[in-house]
Each structure stands twice: as C-alpha cells, then as structure tokens.
Structure 1
Amino acid sequence: MDPKVVCETDRLVVRDWVDTDEDRVFDIYRRWEVSRWLGAEPRVMADRGAAAKVIERWNARNQDPTYGVWAVEERSTGTVAGTVLLVPLPQPSDGTASKGEIEVGWRFHPDAWGRGLATEAARGAIAHGFKAGLGEIYAVVRPDNAASLAVCRRLGMRSIGRTNRWYSAELEAFLL
C-alpha cells in the first residue's frame, strides 16, 4: 500500500512514513547535530529499533487529516531528506489554558542542509494547514539554532519573542 501523500512541491513529496524508512529515520535522529535542537533534554536515538517505534507513533498521529509528522522525500532520488510536522503545541508550561496553538517544525539529515528543503517542506505543511482552516501557525526554535531561525524568516513568520511557554525550554517563537 502506498503511503498517504499530504502535499507535494516542485522537489518534494510530503507523505506518511513507511517501514522501509526506518534506516533513514535512525540515521537522521542518531546524529547529535540534528537531535541537539529537539526537546527539553535533547538526546540521540539509541538504536534502530527506536526508529520503528517512532514511525509507528508518528503514523498514529497522522490519522487526523490536518495534523501530522510526515516524511519529506526528495522526488529526484526517492531519499527521505527529513521530517516536517504540523502538530498542536503541548499544554503551556506556564499553566495557562491551551488555545489550540499549532506548530510547524522540521528536522533534516545533514546531507539535506543548505538546499532550501526545510523551507520548501515547511511552506507545503503551512499551506496544508491553512487550506484545512487553521488561522495561524507557530514555530518554536532554540535561540542559537541559526539555520532554523533563518527558515522562519524565509517563511515570512513574525518573531513574537522568547518564551518558555512550551516544551520546558526557552525558545524563540514565531507566528504566521
């Protein structure tokens, strides 16, 4: 069975994950240069078995047609370059009620860096979200992650300052 395609761009197909993506997921998330930017306590993926579990978890999230954590496949090679996500932000760490805030995010293999793929994939995910009726979309980035800060600017997102509202970490927040 072919994976569900969420959106397509000139160079990319954004789709659900398949079992054959496990090696690539492990290769992406085992790298400190990728994982150092993720979560309140960043850590690398420990083993290939974890990749199978995370793919299963991501595909379970992809059941809602608006939200998901998707594979970003390069059309020209069929290689998974990374991940793009459009998901509800977690309950705010400041104890206030969540307002249905939605986040766009991206995580790419270093061999895909510097080619505009993160921007292109995020643009596709954002268009998907707005088409589904979302009114606004956030991005949250570690303040020292220059590459992701640049992606936010290329997407036309407006900086709304630093916050520790989500993920129990100080992050630079952007809004579109």
Structure 2
Amino acid sequence: MMIASTDRLVVRDWTDAPGDLARVYDIYSRDEVMRWLGGGKGRMTDPAEAVERVHAWRDRYDEYAGRWGIWAIEPRDAGHAVGSVLLKPLPGQDGVTPTDDIEIGWHLHPDSQGHGYATEAARAVLDREFATGTRQVYAVVMAGNEPSMAVARRLGMTHLGVRTDWYGGIELDAFVLQRPA
C-alpha cells in the first residue's frame, strides 16, 4: 500500500517480495546503521530475520490502518527501496508503553545517504500526519548522529536538547516540529 509520494519518491509498505526482504536485511544487518538504533540491539545476523522483521512491523502497526508504521522509501527510478521512514507513538520511560508523543524517523542504506531521500520522505509523511490534526511531531537522535540531526534541521525541526522522556530513559537529542498554521 502506498502511504505518500513525491515527484521522486514513493513511501509504501515493506513487502515479502524477495527484493524488499534482501534490502531490509542489507540495511538492518549493518553496524553503521544499527549503531544509531538502540546502540545496535536488534541487528540482523541472518537473512531469514527480514521476514520476521517485516511481519513484526506490519503486526505492530496494523491497528492504525496505515496512519502509523515503518515504511519503505523507494525512488521512482531506482527499482528498490533505499531505506525506511517511520511515524509512530514514542515509547515511554518503560521503553514499551506508547506515549501521546508522535515520532518521525528514518533509516537509510549507506549507499542511499546524501541524496535528500530521508528529508523528502519524512516531509511527505509529516504533511500527511499534520493533515489529521496532530499538533506536533518529534524526532529523537542518538548523540553523534550528525546526518540525522541535519535531516531534522532541514525539516525545520527545533532542537530541544538532550531528553530522557522516551525509549526507557536513554539520552537522546530531541527535535520537535509544530503543525504549520
């Protein structure tokens, strides 16, 4: 299912297609990606884990009927996904229970960074979410992840400093974007 699109990109569900599963594994098995996602917890070590991951994402967000989830970013001319964009409730101090705070995030394959894909996909998803009446959306970034901080800034997000409100209280640089008036 397509979630959003731009002239260059389609944001869509990850599927069980071999190309999608290979790309999920290629992204989420890489230390250079996973070090920014919970310090590497959840790094895939077997290609078969890609099926489980895609199904877990689908099951976790199925009740939201496409409003929230983790989706593939696919350039119209690439023929394959370059990464993920996510929109979901941030987990609270226990690291599990969803809060009322909504998070935007992005995970790109290293070969696809530096092309504006994360910013463009996130903008399309943010516009869609703000149209539902959501007042503000957060991005949280691990210290040192300058490329992700740059995406947040390009989106017009305001840096709030280091916060420990979410993901079990770990220190994260937080950014917020208010719905345009």
Same topology, TM > 0.5: yes
CA contact (8 A) 2:31 2:40 kept: no
Q: How does 1:98-113 map to 2 (within 5 A)?
A: 99-113=99-113
Q: Which residue of 2 aligns with 1:154?
A: 154
Tell me the secondary structure at the aligned position of residue 4 of structure 2.
Answer: strand
Q: Which amino acid aligns with 1:59?
A: R
Q: Which amino acid aligns with 1:107?
A: H
Q: Which residue of 2 aligns with 1:17?
A: 14
CA contact (8 A) 1:16 1:71 kept: yes
Query: Is 1:81 equivalent to 2:82 in the alignment?
Result: yes
Q: With structure 2 as the length reference, what TM-score do the two structures score?
A: 0.88
Q: When the two structures are aligned, how many residues end up with a matched partner?
A: 171
Q: With structure 1 as the length reference, what TM-score do the two structures score?
A: 0.91
Query: How far off its partner does 1:61 sit?
Result: 3.3
Query: Which of the two has greater strand per residue?
Result: 2
Q: Which amino acid aligns with 2:156?
A: G
Gaps of 5+ in 2: none
Gaps of 5+ in 1: none
- State the identity %: 46
Deviations 1:107-151 (A, max 9, x none): 000110111111111111111111122111000001200000000
Q: Which amino acid aligns with 1:126?
A: L
CA contact (8 A) 2:83 2:107 kept: yes
Q: Which residue of 1 aligns with 2:120?
A: 120
Tell me the secondary structure at the aligned position of residue 72 of structure 1.
Answer: strand
RMSD: 1.8
Tell me the secondary structure at the aligned position of residue 136 of structure 2.
Answer: coil
CA contact (8 A) 1:16 1:62 kept: no
Query: Is 1:29 equivalent to 2:28 in the alignment?
Result: yes
Structure 1 segments of 4+ aligned residues over 3 angstroms from their partners: 40-43
In structure 2, C-alpha distance between the alignment counterparts of 1:61 and 1:53, rounded to whole Å? 12
In structure 1, C-alpha distance between the alignment counterparts of 2:5 and 2:60, rounded to whole Å? 20
Q: Which residue of 1 aligns with 2:139?
A: 139
Deviations 1:83-108 (A, max 9, x none): 000000002359xx965100000000
